[in-house]
Structure 1
Amino acid sequence: MERIRMKGFGEEPAVKSHLVGALRIPAHLIVPVMFLSLLLMTACTVQGPASSGEISKQEAGQKRDAKEITRPRVSELKPVRIDYLRPVEDILDPQIFIYKDKRRLYVMDRGVLVRNYPIGLGNNPKGDKMAEGDGRTPEGRFYICLKNPRSKFYKSLALSYPEKKHAERAFMAGLLSPTQYRDIILALERGVQPPWDTPLGGEIFIHGGGAQGDWTDGCVALYNSDMRELYTMADLGTPVIVRP
């Protein structure tokens, strides 16, 4: 094979003529063009891929954009529907929500707020119930486990207190025996009344008698007219959520 010695950059006239024929570049411009090409290739090599910091920023920006896409906008949030005039007999799937700090009891029926009652609490209303006699209204997720149409306070609905978290906390603290703990958990799994004769206490009701203040021993008190409605619409197993 013929050896080619390039002048300046080692390029022979034969190569020049070949390049000139193929690219139609004047012979006197070939060397500058090649020099410019080498500079461009070097620049691309020096720039290289994005650094890890830049990649992290890009990924963070992509994640943020994804969150903004999936997060509902305020204008897209659906307001709670309210229907306080819905007849009691038409409230078919009630859920009871009690907000201690607001002193309110709300009844939801399939996503619609149908009742809003004032309430009174235990005489020591702050915090979750810890033991019998502390005067606190318990917090958590319960269900109606007993209905009493002839309560001392007009009518009453019993809550499934203590719930699992109360039992676990008391058992770990040594307040409950293994048998007591087991009996509470089994009752909750069966959806029946849990034991009320443990150090955790029991007999926590929603009942009548008035919502004029915090006067109960840990129960939730309503005015009798409101209790009459709630007693009619609630059944055994109706969920009750009590929040601080």
Structure 2
Amino acid sequence: MFRQLLICSLLVSVSALAQASTIRPGQKVDLVVVDKSASKMEVFFRGKLIKSYRIAMGDNPQGHKQKEGDQRTPQGRYTLDFKKADSAYYRSIHISYPNEEDVLRARALGIKPGGAIMIHGQDPKNPMTPEEAQKFNWTNGCIAVTNNEMDELWQLIDPGTPIEIWP
């Protein structure tokens, strides 16, 4: 009897865990988190990790984006505010950089903060396979995933989704 209860309890736990870490068709993630030092982006639904992606970033990924052309990926809390289906890099989802704080910092330094920071797919001119390209930081400050992953993210993310980008 004890053995049957233990097996039943384990099956219920495994089933609950499987349901907690998947998203049902039509549902959208409610948070995207980027860990720059790990070259990783994770998507969450109700606090549960749904999926993790290997990302490529700007050529100079350490530190917060300060100015236009510095090849850095910003850090902080932003919003994924619109989608661009006809991106030069397959598809893209715009990150709301620069925010008010970024603009004020750049203004105080007398520089332009830059912009057009996106999550996007692969460079169509790159001769490497998507998996090879993801091993390098090659963007101008954007966050790149493979085109197949971008298709997945396109379905999971709606405009207005928060994104946190951490060092």
TM-score by length of 1: 0.54
Provide the residue aligned with 1:208 in structure 2: 121
- AA aligned to 1:150 is D
| Whole-angstrom CA distance in 2 between matches of 1:215 and 1:88 | 33
Q: Is residue 128–residue 138 contact of structure 1 (8 Å, CA) maintained in 2? A: yes
Equivalence map 1:117-128=2 (5 Å)? 117-128=53-64
Q: Is residue 81–residue 159 contact of structure 2 (8 Å, CA) maintained in 1? A: yes
User: Does 2:165 match 1:228?
Assistant: no
SS of 2:70's partner is coil
Aligned residues: 141
| Offset, 1:154 | 1.2
Provide the residue aligned with 1:137 in structure 2: 73
Of 84, 91, 100, the residue aligned with 1:155 is: 91
Of 168, 171, 175, the residue aligned with 2:104 is: 168
| Offset, 1:88 | 5.9
Q: Is residue 120–residue 222 contact of structure 1 (8 Å, CA) maintained in 2? A: yes
- Stretches of structure 2 that go unaligned for 5 or more consecutive residues are 1-16, 123-129
- Stretches of structure 1 that go unaligned for 5 or more consecutive residues are 1-80, 176-198
Using the aligned pairs only, state the percent identity: 35
Higher radius of gyration, 1 or 2:
1
Greater per-residue helix proportion: 1
Structure number with higher relative contact order (C-alpha < 8 Å, ≥ 6 residues apart): 2
Q: In the superposition, relative to structure 1, how do residues 90 and 200 fare at CA in structure 2: closer, same or farther (>3 Å)?
A: same
- AA aligned to 2:139 is T
Of 38, 54, 76, the residue aligned with 1:102 is: 38
- AA aligned to 1:148 is K
Alignment RMSD (CA, Å): 1.9
Provide the residue aligned with 2:126 in structure 1: none
Greater per-residue strand proportion: 2
Q: Is residue 83–residue 113 contact of structure 1 (8 Å, CA) maintained in 2? A: no
Q: Is residue 64–residue 74 contact of structure 2 (8 Å, CA) maintained in 1? A: yes
| Whole-angstrom CA distance in 2 between matches of 1:82 and 1:148 | 32
TM-score by length of 2: 0.77
| Offset, 1:84 | 8.7
| Offset, 1:109 | 0.3
Equivalence map 1:72-111=2 (5 Å)? 86-87=22-23, 89-111=25-47
| Whole-angstrom CA distance in 2 between matches of 1:93 and 1:222 | 17
